[in-house]
Amino acid sequence: MKRTFDTGNAAITEGAIRAGCSLFAGYPITPATEIAENMSRRLPQVGGYYLQAEDENAALHICNGGAIGGLKAMTATSGPGFILFADAFGWAVSSEVPVVIVNSQRVGPVSGITGAPGQGEFYLSRYLTHGGNFETIVLAPSSVQEAFRLTVRAFYLAERFRTPVIVLADQMVTDGWETLELPESEAEFTAMGLEVVPRRIHPGPEFYPASDAIDIPPVVLGHNTGAACSDWTPTDRGHDTEDVTWQHKHAWRLIHKIRNHRELIDEAEEWFLDDDPDVILVAYGTPSRVVQSAVRAARREGLRVGGIRLISLWPFQDRMFSRTATYLTVELNWDGQLVREVQRAAAAGSSVHFWGRCGELPSSGELLETVQKLLKNEPLERDGWRTEKW
């Protein structure tokens, strides 16, 4: 095992390379530029291709094109580029293109603040394109080491489900430096629990089965498959159609191939939930590390406080909120996003609260204070703003 001190951007690059990525197309943006830089250096070393696109929409379209040409592809960006993926993402979903998309969230909306972390794309990552009728896989690393692991995992899930997979990171993960262990052999790679599905090619003529079956390799354009891989609703042979019967079959497949195989996707970490705690803190990404710190501090003070860290965000893991409790989501935004989903999922009789800020992580001391307020049923006002009005 090679032990280094490096950034999340470097970890994501190495994860992609070791997962067999051979095409990166992107457009530089803080705080994900280093991924493009690193990929431009690493891909030629492994016989892959690096392209700088004219914008992010083109970048993802290039990745889609490469993927249906037989390559494993990835792109990386931050919020202002992520929103431009809307068209190409829909194409990837509909044509069932395995591709990996990294978004390092910064402060928004629009260009916002470049070098500071945000978590404003929780819902956008679920609905990165229009029209509905699909399910999305989103993974959220909270450390440099996990950024490596989840990038490898994203490629694995993209191949098995034949769908775009989003790695939803934040500026602290990608720009942050941390101890990073990289496997140096196949055995070490496997011992870390990592798996790779090699790219296989579907010979056709079937474009997709009208079922929830996974592990069907993607079609490669040409090769007499007859699949158009266009922006129209495809028949099971990949021909364009406006027939609503085919639309139903196609949509049901896009939704249920993911919903019916949750066991491959769902991942979460729990802290101190065994004694049915009074307050449960919920977070994903870097804030979850401060949450872990705050939960431990609360336990040292004898408070019954627990924590949940979501590692896979979408499909949302309702089962994690089956306890009746007081939940507090901790997020890097002021408007409250994760909190809405937790409120929807929380067991009857629960109360759900929100702690948010943008651009800067909370301190564990602040979170502990908030927990103490909740335990005393005090309102969570901050600086005169009613933060509970989300």
Partner 1 sequence: MSERIEILISGYGGQGVVRIGQILGQAAVYQGLYTTMLISHGTETRGGYVRSQVVISDEFIDSPVVERPDYFCAFSAIAYQMFKGLCGPQGLILHNPDLVSPDPLLEAGHWAIRAESLAERELGNAVFANVVFLGALSSRLALLSAEHIAAAIRERLPERFHEKNLRAFALGQGLKVQVQP
Question: Mask of contacts with partner 1, 229-268, x by CB under 8 A?
Answer: ----------------------------------------
| Closer residue to partner 1 (CB): 66 or 307 | 307
177 in contact with partner 1 (CB under 8 A): yes
Distance (Å, whole) CA 34 – CA 217 = 31
Cis bond leading into 277, ω under 30°? no
Q: Which residues, numbered 362-381, are part of the site for partner 1 (CB under 8 A)?
A: 362-365
361 in contact with partner 1 (CB under 8 A): yes
Using DSSP bridges, classify how beta strands 233-234 and 23-26 pair: parallel, antiparallel or unpaired.
unpaired
How many CB atoms lie under 10 A from the CB of residue 237?
16
Of the candidate residues 37, 87, 178, 195, the single one contacting partner 1 (CB under 8 A): 178
| Closer residue to partner 1 (CB): 5 or 123 | 5
| Closer residue to partner 1 (CB): 163 or 364 | 364
3-state secondary structure of 181: strand
Part in contact with partner 1 (CB under 8 A); list of ranges 114-122, 148-156, 188-196, 202-210:
114-122
109 in contact with partner 1 (CB under 8 A): no
| Closer residue to partner 1 (CB): 3 or 389 | 3
301 in contact with partner 1 (CB under 8 A): no
Distance (Å, whole) CA 9 – CA 156 = 19
331 in contact with partner 1 (CB under 8 A): no
322 in contact with partner 1 (CB under 8 A): no
Per-position b or e across 152-172, b if 16+ CB within 10 A of its CB: bbbbbbbbbbbbbbbbbbbbb
Q: Which residues, numbered 278-297, are part of the site for partner 1 (CB under 8 A)?
A: 286, 289-290, 292-294, 296
Return the beta strands (E) in the chain as ranges. Answer: 2-7, 23-26, 49-52, 73-78, 99-107, 113-117, 137-139, 164-170, 177-182, 233-234, 240-241, 268-271, 279-283, 305-310, 312-314, 326-331, 351-356
| Distance of closest approach, residue 289 Cβ to partner 1, in angstroms | 5
Distance (Å, whole) CA 389 – CA 386 = 6
Of the candidate residues 135, 159, 175, 341, the single one contacting partner 1 (CB under 8 A): 175
| Closer residue to partner 1 (CB): 66 or 176 | 176
Part in contact with partner 1 (CB under 8 A); list of ranges 160-168, 173-181, 321-329, 332-340:
173-181
Footprint on this chain of partner 1 (rule: CB under 8 A): 3-5, 30, 114-116, 172, 175-179, 286, 289-290, 292-294, 296, 360-365
